Structure formats: structure tokens, C-alpha cells
Amino acid sequence: MKKLMQALVAVFLISFLLLYVVDRLNASSGQTEGSTLTVYNWGDYIDAELIDRFEKETGVKVIYETFDSNEAMMTKIEQGGTTYDVAVPSEYTIEKMRDQDLLYPINHSKVPNLKYIDDRFMDLSFDPGNKYSIPYFWGTVGILYNTDEVNGEITAWNDLWKPEFRNKILMIDGAREVMGMGLNSLGYSLNDTNEAHLQEAKAKLDELTPNIKAIVGDEIRMLMENDEASIGLVWSGTASELMGTKDNLEYVVPEEGSNLWFDNMVIPKTAKNIEAAHAFINFMLDPEVAAQNTEYVGYSTPNKKALEFMPKEMVEDKRFYPPAHMTERLEVYENLGPEMLARYNELFLKFKMHRK
């Protein structure tokens, strides 16, 4: 009996050790949470039908959470309270996350659909070689205006200072966008760090305050749709979405220049399901999936093969798919560093307080 008990104990110990080794091996390959994938994305930035399809095709349950700013997203990942497997930050935030060692290198061999991404959107300065990020959407910042309420065309940032637009303009509640508009209107770079130029841009924005009806977030869509304002400083995807429902809206990228932005998919360093994260990224790059997602979201896709599955009038619209020579006057936001970013935020806050 004693020998039998010893044998049972030995079997139990060996089984326990084997289970422990397998668990550690799975953890090291990112498969500890094999049946769950947690995605962290901007609000209303994916077709929910595609999440259902991914779950059915892979058996992986997707937990989907949203954020409303790059800063909020990065702070939550830094704190580590929730382990996100895939996130979708913008270019300058990707650079910051890379520098702070918050990202897991992406294995390109596990993302074969990467071949469908237009070379124009690969190997950019914020992530050379796309070591940490894969293109998701891109677009511009510009002016959306109601053609029934605006006489003539708007072609430049400086048009917004016209007295006839008093109390008719909605602004995005974003320091980089608004300060960038002020800098561009003066002929400066939207990444300018010259204090004199920043002060000049702030002073010029102060002069615009009589024309500003409100500084808002996502509600800018509803306000423009309901004709609550004649003009809005918006992202191109917002413009595209609204123009699809209202014939009296026009979108323009100002002639002085503006922002060319990129949102990319990344795998945070704290991810628990790295295998499923790669599978999800590859799934979103499937041309037909990307086309469906683009038609739903309204922003521009970097997936050149997806264009073949999209309406012709959509892909030939140069307001949202401008050729390369038209984007030369546009700039990508650079990571200005914490001190300079704080300065931008401080000046933007003073501008908002000036309105009151």
C-alpha cells in the first residue's frame, strides 16, 4: 500500500510539473488567454459585423473597448490595469510608445496580408520598417462647410477669420489640431517649437474667437448634421461620413497645409494573446474585410487591394484619396516631447479660456 501511495504521489507531482511547463511555454508565446482577445480602439472605428466574423472564423472571443484620445489610451496601457492585445494609436503616439518600450515587435511572417498595404504608407518616420505597427486608416484635418450657408468657396485656413462667419464655426477639442491650424495659417509648421511662433499662433487664434460657436468632441458630427453650425474643423473621416448623408456639405484641405495622420494597429507589451493579436491584425488587412470596414468607418484605407472592392465614386474622390503630389504640403504630427506637448496644451487651454 505504501508503494502504491508513493507511486500515486509521484504521478501527481509529474502531472503537476508537466502542466506548469506547458503553461509557462504558452505564456512565453503569448497564448495564455487563447480564447480571448482584448482590442482597444477609437469609438465607432470598426464595423461590428467584422468582429462577429473574426470570432466565428477563429473561435476567439473579442473584448472590445474604446478610448477618445491618444493620451487616454497610452495612460491606461502604461498603468497596466487592463492587458490589451491590440490597440490603435496615432503616429506620434506610436513613436512615444516605442521609445518607452510599451510595444511588442510584430512578426511580419504572421501577417501575410501586409502585402496589400500601399508602399506610400509603409516605413514612415514614426516606425521605420513597421517594426511595431501596421497601417489601419489614414486621413487629413480640414474644413467642412455648408454650401447653403457659405457664400463662395472656402479654400484656406485664413478664410475662417472673415467677419461674416461670426458664431458659425465648430472646432475640434484638440491642442495639436487647433494650434496646428493657427501655425499653418501663419505659414509655420504644425510641429513648430519656436516660442515666438507659438505665441503668434495663440494671438491669432484669440482673434478668431468671435467666429467660434463651440469647441467640441465627437458631438461635432451631430451638430453639423443638424445644421447647428455652418463650418467645422474636422477629420476627413467625419467629413466623409456627413457628406454621405447631406448633399450641402463640402470638405477642403486648406491651401496653407494641414495634418496628414495615420492610425496603426499595435500589440502592447503587456498583451496576453500575441498569437491571436497577429491573427486579428492579419484579418483586418484582408482586402474584402478592409473594404467593408472602410465603407463603414468612412476614413481612407491604406489597403490598395481593398480599393478594388469599394465603390468607384469613393476611391476616385480626391478629397479623401488625394494623389501623392497633393499630399506634399501636408505634415505628420511629430512627437514633440513631454515639455513641448505640455506647452501646446497650455496655450490651447489659454485660448479656450480667452473665449469665455
Supply the mean pLDDT for the chain.
Answer: 90
* Residue from 143, 139, 200 nearest 171 by CA: 143
Specify the pLDDT at position 60: 97
Mean pLDDT, to the nearest integer, of 301-307? Answer: 97
Letter for the amino acid at 254? P
- Calpha distance 295→301 (Å, rounded): 9
Backbone angles phi, psi at 261, to 5 degrees: -115, 160
pLDDT > 90: percent of the chain: 77
Backbone angles phi, psi at 169, to 5 degrees: -115, 135
Q: Per the structure block, which three cell numbers stand in for 29? A: 508565446
Supply the DSSP string of 179-223, one letter for each residue: HHHHHHHTT--TT---HHHHHHHHHHHHHHGGGEEEEESTTHHHH
Helices (H), the chain: 2-28, 48-58, 70-79, 91-99, 175-185, 195-208, 220-225, 236-243, 274-284, 287-297, 312-315, 338-354
Q: Can you tell me which residue has the cell 505597427?
A: 133
- Calpha distance 3→209 (Å, rounded): 88
* Residue from 130, 126, 159 nearest 145 by CA: 159
pLDDT band at 20 (very low <50, low <70, confident <90, very high): very low
* Residue from 53, 19, 28 nearest 296 by CA: 53
Number of residues that this document lists for the chain: 356
- Calpha distance 69→331 (Å, rounded): 20
| Conformation bin of residue 101: beta by default, left when phi > 0, alpha when psi is -120 to 50 | left
Q: Are 179 and 201 in contact (CB under 8 A)?
A: yes
Specify the pLDDT at position 269: 95
Q: Are 308 and 250 in contact (CB under 8 A)?
A: no
Mean pLDDT, to the nearest integer, of 64-84? Answer: 90
Specify the pLDDT at position 354: 79
Specify the pLDDT at position 330: 92
pLDDT in tens, 139-165: 999 999 999 999 999 999 999 999 999
pLDDT band at 68 (very low <50, low <70, confident <90, very high): confident
pLDDT in tens, 234-277: 999 889 889 988 999 999 999 999 999 999 999 999 899 999 99
Q: How, if at all, do strands 133-146 and 231-235 pair?
A: antiparallel
What domains does the chain contain, in order, with CATH numbers? 32-138+262-315 (3.40.190.10), 139-260+323-354 (3.40.190.10)
Q: What is the DSSP letter of 120?
A: G
